[in-house]
Chains A and B, each alone.
Chain A
């Protein structure tokens, strides 16, 4: 596609439920990133993929968070047993290469609300 696509754009869930957030990067981009943007906070790095592998998972806040990427393309961020503090905008970005973040393209994000 023309840009990074994220779905759903909005997700409302009940505390304790699991959610899956999807990211379709720009075709051919090898690097993919997940960030979380909470109200009044900057963008918090969650995880980075190069191809299908995740060299850096250091930002995942707890073991309730996991992510995978298949075929070097689509990525899914899963949050298990959601908590209210998980409410945030989850942003995905892709890049043609990993070397310098020079060309990082962001999606519009998924607004997650945990009630």
Chain B
């Protein structure tokens, strides 16, 4: 069965600092991997996705993620966070109709 682990429930970073959110997955074949962001009171918005090809994928809002098959990881990174990046971030894996989500990482930004 497919599964996603986001080991960090809550992360706090200073504005302007770099960010890395961890995601590990379990999937029987080549996975489709996603990162979504959920701002308070909002629906989920797709940040980026990996299907195949280049293992470093670029997304919206300056985010990127790297697929590492050997580590079953798909970590999300941003070189310099902005206060508006404060939100809940979800990693997801899927290969067909159903996406399986992690439990999310809440990101707090301090001035």
Contact = CB atoms under 8 A, between A and B. Distances in A.
Given A43-B90, A108-B42, A100 B98 contact: no
B97 A42 contact: no
B62 to A, nearest CB: 21
Looking at B34, B43, B46, B51, the one whose CB has the most chain A CB atoms below 10 A away is B43
B104 A31 contact: no
Nearest to B51: A100
Nearest to B102: A42
B41 interface: yes
Interface residues of B, number: 26
Contact of B103 (A4, A41, A98): A41
Contacts of A25: none
A68 to B, nearest CB: 18
A108 B43 contact: yes
B94 A101 contact: yes
A77 interface: no
A48 B103 CA distance: 20
A22 to B, nearest CB: 15
Contacts of A99: 96
B58 interface: no
B99 A104 contact: yes
A106 B39 CA distance: 12
Nearest to A38: B103
12 contacts: A42-B102, A43-B90, A43-B99, A43-B101, A44-B101, A50-B97, A59-B98, A99-B96, A101-B34, A101-B94, A102-B49, A106-B36
Interface of B: 4, 6, 32, 34, 36, 41-46, 49, 51, 90, 92, 94-104
Q: Which 10 A-B pairs have the closest CB atoms?
A: A106-B43, A43-B101, A42-B103, A106-B44, A42-B101, A108-B43, A101-B94, A48-B97, A42-B102, A98-B97
